[in-house]
Structure 1
Amino acid sequence: MDDKSLIKIVSLVAVFVSCLLAVFLLTVRTKNRLANSLFGVFILLNAVDISSWFLNEFLFKYPTVLVFKATTGAIINPVFYLYALALCYSDFQLRPKHLLHLLPFALVNLVLMPRFYVADAAAKRVFLEHFGTTPESTFMLVLGHLQFVFYIVAIFLTLRKYRRAYRENYADTSIITYDWLFQLTVTITVVHAIVILKNTLGFTPYGRLFNGFELLVGLNSTLILSWFILKALYNPALFRSIDSTIAPVEELRVDEPPVATTPPRQPAPAITAQIQRLQAHMAQAEPYLDPELTIQDLANQLNMPVRELSLLINHHLDQHFFDFVNEYRIQKAKRLLKDDSQKSTTVLEILYAVGFNSKSSFNTSFKKHTGLTPTQYRST
């Protein structure tokens, strides 16, 4: 079996798996319906792109369909970006302004209009035969790579803002949405780099290497899609999103009056009183035992505006919300680990009892505060 035949088989499997996963995402009933639908569309668009390895020969008889199919690649990156927004922010909705993301797709088809779409059948076939050397092909290639860079940077910036806001407003350190999107974005970036290298080799005499890289891209696509499915199976509740109106504390401080450059001083009496009230509530009511505690929940308990509480913890106490909450959790865990009446209680039971829901995040936080693992601390 030669490389081209193997590429066709691999790509056919990848497209089949893509369609199955996309149908599932488009039809499953979850609270993340918009995000799942966008991800399903993203996967279908990639399947259309991958299908070129076995479908283009057949579609050469229908040049208009073939070229239009190729231009749908300009929609892939915008859809992935919108998926990232929908996954990160629970209040995200598609609006008319988001149609602006279709401009590259419209521009590519507009560029193809004079010499292809309005040409006769014979001229279309000649255009396709020499497509790789046409200015339109170069334009599509350059625009595609520039578009990819633009949207990948935009996604990383979105993730950076999301992570800051999450750490400042949620006590659960297991940020599965961030981890998933970050891993997915990095993976897509690596695959795109391989595609760039493949396309570059296509302009060189190293045709054998070009075919090898085509096979590599096809295998990667299949493996990545399998990873998608495993991720969905192991994490049926994907994912935790936040309200887009939640801003990092640096943005909240913009509205505060500027402070003169003077030596450090004690907090104002009102701030000190708020801190004491907060600390007393944490010690007496132990709200940190709730693994799903958010800064909104705590603000409601204290009858305090969430913005004010966020500034109090993240600015005046100089801690992220989850660091602040986990400090109390670790202190309680230390007491339980040293309590003779709790000797039969396992470390796993203790971590759940104090509000953690992940062994890895508990061990990381515990070692950060004590320099020891929970087992080591218990035996000292």
Structure 2
Amino acid sequence: MDKSNVLIIVTVISLFVSLFLALFLVTVKTKYKTSNSLFALFLIIISMDICEPLISSLFDRPSNLGMLRNTCAFLQIPVFYLYVLSVCYSDFRVKPIHLLHLLPFLIANVVLLPHFYMVDIASKINFIINRQSSLELKFNHILIHIQIITYIIAVFMILKKTKKLYLENYAGTSINSYRWLLQFTVVLAVLYLIALFKNIFKFSDYPYISDWIKIGLIVFQLFMVCWYLFKALNNPGLFRSVDSKLQLVSDIVLEEKKNNPQTTENEEEFNAEVMKLKKYMTEEKPFLNPSLTIQDVSNGTEIPVRELSVLINHKLGQHFYDFINSYRIENAMDILKDATKNKLTVLEILYEVGFNSKSSFNTAFKKHTGATPTFYRKSL
């Protein structure tokens, strides 16, 4: 079987799977409709890109529609960027301002107007034959690589900020979602890096190498999408979005210093708030709620959210996430020490103290005690 046949077979399989998954995402009933729709759109745009070998085998002439399909590659990473925003922020909505993400796509097509879109078929063929010396295509390839690098960096920055906001304001176990969304972004970045090398060979004296890399990319892309969707669909509650209006504590502290540069910290007031907070935590045990947020603690202590966030995340030097987990672990340690409860399994204990994930419980327990729950129980 020659290279062209392999490429077409792999393309057809990848197209079928990607489009089937896209159809499933837009039809399935879920509260994550926006996220699902954006990821489905991402899959459709990728499908338009990878179907090039199939289109080339069916049509031997370049066309405006075919070139427009090629430039749709400029829409891939912006749509993924919007998808990440929709996953990370609970109040995300698609707005008219997001149309600005179309600019690279529009620029790429405007550049092609004089020497491709507005010429006859013979000129189009000549344009494609001499593509290695085409300034327009070289410009577009440089533009798309700049776009990819910019958006990938932006996605990493969003994930970093969202994770920090989550740690400062929530005490659930959904922090794992950001870790594997980060992993997916890293894999996607690698995919685009490989595509960069493919394009370099495309404009070199060894275009056949580009074709073999394309086959590998299509297969890699197919497995990547299937892995991501398998993970997401098997964990429908994995993502717990944060409110985009939340501020990082570092920004709050900086803002307060700017507004009140002469303000000195009141030690008595600080100690009173700490005592009030600790009393509430030990008496009311809010940490037993696996979905506890800083707003819940604020309501219980009657300390404003902003002040409470600064108190825990800045003055006490702990993320809210770790602060709450420390109480959960202390409670778990008491249960493990209690001889009357030695029949309780570790799984039963973690649910009882407010965790809903064994991996999160083990990680937090080892961070707090230096040992796993099982080893700790045996050592008593």
Q: TM-score, normalised by structure 1?
A: 0.94
Q: Using the alignment, how far apart are the partners of 1:257 and 1:205 within structure 2?
A: 60
List per-residue Cα deviations over 1:227-277 (Å, max 9, x = no partner). Answer: 13312331123421110011211011122236989xxx9852112111101
1:298 deviation in Å? 1.3
List per-residue Cα deviations over 1:143-195 (Å, max 9, x = no partner). Answer: 01000000000111111110110011111244243123211210111111111
Segments of structure 2 that go 5 or more residues without pairing to the other structure are: none
Counterpart position of 1:172: 172
1:125 deviation in Å? 2.7
Give yes or no for the alignment of 1:138 onto 2:138: yes
Segments of structure 1 that go 5 or more residues without pairing to the other structure are: none
Q: Larger deviation: 360-369 or 195-204? A: 195-204
Judge conservation of contact 1:332–1:354 (CA < 8 Å) in 2.
Answer: yes
1:24 deviation in Å? 1.5
Judge conservation of contact 1:159–1:178 (CA < 8 Å) in 2.
Answer: yes
Judge conservation of contact 1:108–1:140 (CA < 8 Å) in 2.
Answer: yes
The DSSP-based 3-state class of the residue aligned with 1:194 is helix
Counterpart position of 2:20: 20
Question: What are the residue-to-residue correspondences of 1:108-127 with 2, within 5 Å?
Answer: 108-127=108-127
Counterpart position of 1:320: 319
The DSSP-based 3-state class of the residue aligned with 1:13 is helix
Q: Larger deviation: 53-62 or 279-288? A: 53-62
Counterpart position of 1:9: 9
Q: Using the alignment, how far apart are the partners of 2:364 and 2:333 within structure 1?
A: 12
1:200 deviation in Å? 2.2
Counterpart position of 1:155: 155
The DSSP-based 3-state class of the residue aligned with 2:257 is coil
Judge conservation of contact 2:62–2:121 (CA < 8 Å) in 1.
Answer: no
The DSSP-based 3-state class of the residue aligned with 1:30 is coil
Q: Larger deviation: 237-246 or 36-45? A: 237-246
1:305 deviation in Å? 1.9
Counterpart position of 1:295: 294
Q: Larger deviation: 114-123 or 181-190? A: 114-123
Judge conservation of contact 2:78–2:101 (CA < 8 Å) in 1.
Answer: yes
Amino acid at match of 2:24: F
Judge conservation of contact 1:74–1:104 (CA < 8 Å) in 2.
Answer: yes
1:370 deviation in Å? 1.2
Judge conservation of contact 2:132–2:203 (CA < 8 Å) in 1.
Answer: no
Judge conservation of contact 2:287–2:327 (CA < 8 Å) in 1.
Answer: yes
Q: Using the alignment, how far apart are the partners of 1:260 and 1:303 within structure 2?
A: 26
Counterpart position of 2:377: 378
The DSSP-based 3-state class of the residue aligned with 2:39 is helix
List per-residue Cα deviations over 1:106-125 (Å, max 9, x = no partner). Answer: 11111111111111233223
Counterpart position of 1:71: 71
The DSSP-based 3-state class of the residue aligned with 1:144 is helix
Give yes or no for the alignment of 1:107 onto 2:122: no
Judge conservation of contact 1:295–1:306 (CA < 8 Å) in 2.
Answer: yes
Question: What are the residue-to-residue correspondences of 1:352-367 with 2, within 5 Å?
Answer: 352-367=351-366
Question: What are the residue-to-residue correspondences of 1:41-56 with 2, within 5 Å?
Answer: 41-56=41-56
1:45 deviation in Å? 0.3
Q: Larger deviation: 214-223 or 44-53? A: 214-223
Q: Larger deviation: 13-22 or 176-185? A: 176-185
Counterpart position of 1:347: 346
1:63 deviation in Å? 0.6
Judge conservation of contact 1:337–1:378 (CA < 8 Å) in 2.
Answer: yes
Percentage identity across aligned positions? 44
Amino acid at match of 1:290: N
Judge conservation of contact 1:60–1:66 (CA < 8 Å) in 2.
Answer: no
Judge conservation of contact 1:176–1:240 (CA < 8 Å) in 2.
Answer: no
Question: What are the residue-to-residue correspondences of 1:231-250 with 2, within 5 Å?
Answer: 231-250=231-250
Question: What are the residue-to-residue correspondences of 1:208-247 with 2, within 5 Å?
Answer: 209-247=209-247
List per-residue Cα deviations over 1:276-330 (Å, max 9, x = no partner). Answer: 0110000001000011111111112222321111111111111000110011011
Count of residue pairs brought into register by the alignment: 378
Provide the aligned C-alpha RMSD in A: 2.0
Judge conservation of contact 2:173–2:356 (CA < 8 Å) in 1.
Answer: no
Amino acid at match of 1:218: I
Give yes or no for the alignment of 1:93 onto 2:93: yes
Change (3 A) 1:103 1:85: same
Change (3 A) 1:267 1:369: farther
Question: What are the residue-to-residue correspondences of 1:247-258 with 2, within 5 Å?
Answer: 247-257=247-257
Amino acid at match of 1:287: P
Judge conservation of contact 2:87–2:241 (CA < 8 Å) in 1.
Answer: yes
Counterpart position of 2:274: 275
Amino acid at match of 2:134: T
The DSSP-based 3-state class of the residue aligned with 2:356 is coil
Q: Using the alignment, how far apart are the partners of 2:62 and 2:201 within structure 1?
A: 28
Q: Using the alignment, how far apart are the partners of 1:260 and 1:139 within structure 2?
A: 50
